[in-house]
A and B are shown apart, each in its own frame.
Chain A
């Protein structure tokens, strides 16, 4: 059954929803990357919670105008308006009061959400309109979705994705280096606004599928996951889009095949699984790699410090350093330095002396910047340059260098 789902052997609507979710996932992953790189990931949390009053008010308005209040387009429009108002409130609080952005985000999300709940409880008591299903906006529900609604999601997903693609260059520039972007004539404020607008569009379109509490995950988790795999902005953008698309598609398809699995949580958990794998196993930024690297680095530091201390006849205070030296056969159990130890120590000291000259030499500034106490000079300078250094070390002792 799951295989059927993944290969789209679903009903017509479910297929549409899965495809719509995928487009939306790509758009969310890409948009979210810009939010993440601008260090404003949680603004999306405020945006999504701030949609709720809009849903409620739109429903009430549509009922007041004689409808049954079920037009998805109308509800989404309302949610967009109130999310936009929430964003304005955050901007206003951070600009005109001393409150920091995190406080503004928290205040807006909780108050708007609380007010939205008040409206929902009013709606529950209304006799007109068909309010059943409004709770679906909290956690998302695609079960029993109408063809019209599915189309809205597909079209919304495609449109959002198209705008993201069209604006990706300037957004990348701004996310990477806002000052340079401003200097090269881009209107940073306007592009930031576009990023926010897109985040809002993703939220609104995704509201029905994922629900407002979890939609923020689609904007946050894929970019964070992608960041583990690359340091280049453009690659992070694409990777995040791909991760978002795959997670959303798999999630929506699985949930369509097994109706007891709610769409939103499944999408989020699929996406989190990618994240957890990346956090642990990504090649350079992953936890495992970082841990091994740190261990190696710590050993190199202790080894080098131990060798320098040996060469200069200084005492070694650290037990770990001594253990390392012993294990490498550089020091005997009784503390006597072996011949190999003496040789390595002498080499370390010579390297250190060479470095000291290099770092005092204005002409070798480029090489000097690479000094980290560990790097062998041979990896930085040519053998000719090192010879020259050695001549200068020997200089004062020798005859008229």
Chain B
């Protein structure tokens, strides 16, 4: 069995004191070169994709932790021309960001990367984010997820709103497009309506990969109905089996990846000391050698994992140069990229536009 491996990039790494670790590059966090170096390293390790975290507020109230972030879609776009195989999956808010802007942004990333774009819609229930947009009331979790489902539906319809062959350039009739192959999406929901069509032609993948992170049944249901990939956060092997079972019942076709925070080496303890407390995480925190991590990945039994490096670039490099060869030696990881586009890498075909007439 061959695993899928993604890496989640965020700031200096997932430990709050990561920016103080040996080899960390806190001066470069807001430069394109820092991110380009990381993604090129991930591509060298043949990883499936990298994700870029994002939110619309500061990460922390502490001044001894990384503060500040760049817009994830733009960050992904800036590394797209410097890479050619690896998938690029930014996070955006679906609570505060217009679905129309998200749809054309991710479609444009798919063009810039020639078919390697994905998207992670994220709900935001934080009052500080709402205050940045002048919203007084934060909806409850159920409403946030109903709204998120509508946003994904709108984005997916907009991606399909130009049929693949809508551009005809017909000199005889003077028509650049066949307007019968452009479609109003006419979405009307509980929270908003969007007319369409998109201003951006159908992206190279047709439907860029939609991914979601979930810790409980409501987001699992959201992902089962709307996403191609779900990241889950099991605490241990038994939890992994339980979650996998629950999700399989909701949607057996959904790709399920487990998230792990990884420290490949013994550097975590020093960082915990610096930060004043042991690392707390929604995901299982792994410490050990690449071989031990390979054991765990094969034991838990997911088809893929999203690894969150504790320290960048250290734990990323340990993944690409330590874990990857270990898995390859066991016949559990690719030795070259197969499919050119991101969907293809997961065995997902290129879907026809939902609006295309069946001929």
Q: Do the two chains bind? A: no
Q: Mark B residues whose CB is within 8 Å of A.
A: none
Q: Mark A residues whose CB is within 8 Å of B.
A: none
